[in-house]
């Protein structure tokens, strides 16, 4: 299944146990873009949903920040983890205003990227360069 996933153009759902899902989805996200774009949503019996961003980059970027180095941390997965959780809460509560707000926030994030405002990880994907020009991406502070 892993080989199929890597070679595939998509169009399938792969249900995994938690750890297997973490490992395989990290592979997929890195192969097709960035871990910063990946949100994991876990559904449990009943009305329980857990949404989280992919693991890995924030700690490394924080250490760089502590050293006074410039960072470019992609917050998209964190934003979408929150919107997925809030959207589920809106569904449970019948709160259409909250549901609409989560949809608007997600669309705004997508529009921002499509308009060319990206972090370094996405600039790497867009240019194919290991060292994209600094003008191509924003920093965490921006």
pLDDT, tens digit, 9 for 90 and up, residues 37-53: 778 788 888 899 988 88
Q: How much is the pTM?
A: 0.79
What band does 73 get if pLDDT is binned at 50, 70 and 90?
A: confident
Q: How many Cα atoms sit within 13 Å of 42 on the Cβ side?
A: 13
Domain edges within the chain: 33-136
**For 90-99, what is each residue's pLDDT tens digit?**
999 999 999 9
Condensed to tens digits (0 to 9), the pLDDT of residues 97-139 reads: 999 999 999 999 999 999 999 999 899 888 888 899 999 999 9
Cα–Cα distance measured from residue 97 to residue 111, given in angstroms and rounded to the nearest whole number: 21
* Per-residue pLDDT, 57: 63
Rounded CA separation 95/99 (Å): 6
Structure tokens at 101: 């707000």
């Amino acid at each position: 299944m892993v080989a199929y996933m890597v070679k595939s153009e998509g169009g399938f759902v792969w249900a995994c146990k938690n750890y297997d899902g973490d490992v395989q989805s990290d592979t997929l996200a890195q192969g097709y873009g960035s871990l910063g774009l990946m949100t994991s949503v876990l559904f449990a019996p009943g009305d329980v949903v857990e949404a989280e961003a992919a693991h890995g980059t924030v700690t490394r970027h924080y250490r760089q920040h502590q050293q006074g180095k410039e960072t470019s941390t992609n917050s998209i997965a964190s934003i979408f983890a929150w919107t997925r959780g809030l959207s589920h809460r809106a569904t449970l509560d019948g709160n259409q205003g909250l549901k609409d707000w989560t949809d608007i926030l997600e669309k705004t994030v997508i529009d921002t990227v499509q308009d060319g405002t990206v972090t370094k990880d996405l600039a790497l994907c867009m240019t194919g360069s290991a060292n994209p020009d600094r003008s191509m991406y924003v920093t965490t502070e921006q």
